[in-house]
Amino acid sequence: MKIFRTGILLILLSVLLVVAGDALAGPAGMKIALAFAVVMNAVSYFFSDKIALKTSGAQPVTREQLPRLYAVMERLAAKASLPVPKLYVIPEEAPNAFATGRNPQHASVAVTQGLLELMNDEELEGVIAHELSHVRNYDILTTSIAATIAGAITYLAHMAQWGMIFGGYGGDRDDEREGGGFAAIAMMILAPFAALMLQLFLSRTREYSADETGARMVGQPYGLISALQKLGAYNQRIPTTALAPTTAALCIVKPLIGGGGWASLFSTHPPLEDRIAALRQMTIVPQS
């Protein structure tokens, strides 16, 4: 069901791109915007892991330095039939973690020093299973596709705005279709907003999916539930100093960077209480 819902969202984004392209700049404009967005997001897709790790100050760690973290990661990776990702630690008091990388063969998992100090073994296992689930579910690929389409829509809107400013928009096109100018202006405003909402909904869906897959990977949801409760409490009062807003979207819980009120509406993360409630309702059959 989750795969089906994700597919529907990607299709809706694609349809929105086609409609926006026709309304704002015609088929030629749509093709240019799509090509531009694909190039931008291809660069992001191949180098976003290095950017995220560099900007967060993550440092690679060896098995000798953190045998506890490696033991949990190697056990879960073997259970999920995944290569062991590269492991990093961020010198940050606020507890958090994120996974990055374009596929399981190029994956990295970073945890903060605060998370390692706060979590017991069961909770750490739940967090690592959640991050491995993002790798296993190819969430980086899914979000990259969504970002490509949303980026193309936004670029189209900007291109149309500049066209109107410099007088390159309207004229024959408006004469051919009554109300075309009004429709284009409405599309300039609504299309990027609709693309953002669909993209955020997709991101939230991936978090629920990673929670569920991680709990099944471990065999029970209680470690992840306890970890999410701790992460929510501590990240409400310990502001992060290492994670940029773009990296924060990758984290297991939303870090305290700033903003509130309307900011929660545009959050890439669903409410923690909803995630915990979904985990409590799970039924996991023990393996014999």
**Which are the catalytic amino acids?**
131
CA-wise closest residue to 38 among 125, 155, 132: 155
| Residues 6 or more apart in contact with residue 204 via CB below 8 angstroms | 268, 269, 270
Q: Which tokens in the block code for residue 170? A: 């309207």
Q: Which tokens in the block code for residue 271? A: 């409410």
Q: In what order do the strands lie in the sheet with 86-90?
A: 59-60, 86-90, 108-112, 97-100
Which contacts qualify for 65-70: CB closer than 8 Å, 24 or more apart?
Answer: 66/116, 68/116, 68/121, 68/124, 69/111, 69/116, 69/124, 69/128
Q: Quick one: how many helices (H) and strands (E) in the chain? A: 12, 4
**E strand or H helix that includes residue 136:** helix 121-136
Q: Which tokens in the block code for residue 224? A: 């992840």
- The residue type found at 233 is A
Phi, psi of 266 (to 5 degrees): -100, 20
